[in-house]
Amino acid sequence: MFSSLHNHCTFCDGKNSAQEMIEAAVRAGFTDFGMSCHCHDERFSLSMQDEEGYIRAMRALCAAYSSKIRVYCGIEQDPMGSIRCPEAYDYVIGSVHAVRAPNGMIYSVDNNVQEMDEALRAFGGDGMELVRAYYALVTENVRKTKPDIIGHFDLILKLNKDNRYFAENTQAYRQTALEALEQCAAQGGVFEVNTGGMYRGYRDFPYLQDFLLVRLRELGARVTVSTDCHDVNGIDYGVGRALAQIRDAGFDTLAVWHDGGFVQIPLEELMH
């Protein structure tokens, strides 16, 4: 039994149709599979444009595949975007992909280095100010919306290879991330270990970093594994590596979505 809830298809910026993604999930042996299109955001042309069409398509696929796999209709919510039909979703992933700078402009933190370079300039060249704005928004979003899953908590690291924007192995960075983590954990959602950035070659580790995972275990928080998959080839990318990272952080169990809700499954069962 294994679930995967953070996936994209052609209703947003995914490369494959929802049906192709579900077929790949069946081949990979998942028992429970959810789609989580990006909520509509007028600044982002590849966000979901046809929310009703997406919900209809997912309900039809859920029925069509019921003998092979349990299919869910979720959404990746971002505070810069909007959701028209919140009651339609089986679950919500709360994720931040952009920050608002002191000049009032919004900058993506996961688009490309050109936009991040502009963001850095808008924060007066102080990368830690950008970090603080990002984690403040993550915390505010989780507190306000209480998502089922907290998406790629430390996405701000994505384009920070070679410490391009801030020194990520410093006490200053770690303390900022830890304080946000603790406030988010207090809301009770499940954190994901997300291998999407690794699959796409940005960093060589999944979100979240080890020191955050260790703190989550101390806090008694729950974690799950997501591939944040945008094409059929990445459907189960890095799952073994993520499970090992979670075990090494001291967890005994993983939150797995089973028949419409999270259950805790021993990691040992999932790893053999």
| Shortest Cβ 125–Zn ion spacing (Å) | 26
What residues numbered 200-219 form the site for Zn ion, per CB under 5 A? none
In sequence order, the β-bridge partners of residue 150 are: 94, 191
Q: Which is nearer to Zn ion, 20 or 247 (CB)?
A: 20
150 close to 184: Cβ distance less than 8 angstroms: yes
Stretch that binds Zn ion, among 58-66, 138-146, 207-215, 224-232 (CB under 5 A): 224-232
Amino acid identity of residue 226, one-letter, is S
List the one residue from 41, 154, 228, 236 that touches Zn ion (CB under 5 A): 228
Under the binding rule (CB under 5 A), the answer on residue 176 touching Zn ion is no
Under the binding rule (CB under 5 A), the answer on residue 7 touching Zn ion is no
| Shortest Cβ 36–Zn ion spacing (Å) | 6
What residues numbered 144-163 form the site for Zn ion, per CB under 5 A? none
Q: Which is nearer to Zn ion, 14 or 266 (CB)?
A: 14
Element spanning 100, H or E: strand 98-100
- 206-223 burial code (b ≥16 CB/10 A, e <16): bbbbeebbebbbeeebbb
What is the spatial distance between Cα 193 and Cα 74, in angstroms, rounded to a whole number? 18
Q: How many residues bind Zn ion (CB under 5 A)?
A: 3
Q: Which is nearer to Zn ion, 200 or 217 (CB)?
A: 200
Q: Which is nearer to Zn ion, 76 or 148 (CB)?
A: 76
What is the spatial distance between Cα 152 and Cα 192, in angstroms, rounded to a whole number? 6
- 20-54 burial code (b ≥16 CB/10 A, e <16): bbbbbbbebebbbbbbbbbbbbeebeebbeebeeb
Provide DSSP, 29-72: T-SEEEEEEEPB-TT-TTS-S-HHHHHHHHHHHHHHTTTT-EEE
| Shortest Cβ 103–Zn ion spacing (Å) | 24
Nearest to 168 by CA among 181, 155, 184: 155
Q: Which is nearer to Zn ion, 168 or 228 (CB)?
A: 228
List the one residue from 4, 95, 139, 209 that touches Zn ion (CB under 5 A): 95
| Shortest Cβ 13–Zn ion spacing (Å) | 8
Match 């999270």 to its residue by tokens.
Answer: 262
Length of the chain (residues): 272
| Shortest Cβ 217–Zn ion spacing (Å) | 24
Q: Which is nearer to Zn ion, 148 or 228 (CB)?
A: 228
Residue 66 vs residues 32, 197, 213, 265: alpha-carbon distances, Å:
10, 31, 34, 23
Stretch that binds Zn ion, among 54-62, 94-102, 128-136, 258-266 (CB under 5 A): 94-102
Stretch that binds Zn ion, among 9-17, 216-224, 227-235, 259-267 (CB under 5 A): 227-235
| Shortest Cβ 92–Zn ion spacing (Å) | 12
Footprint on this chain of Zn ion (rule: CB under 5 A): 76, 95, 228
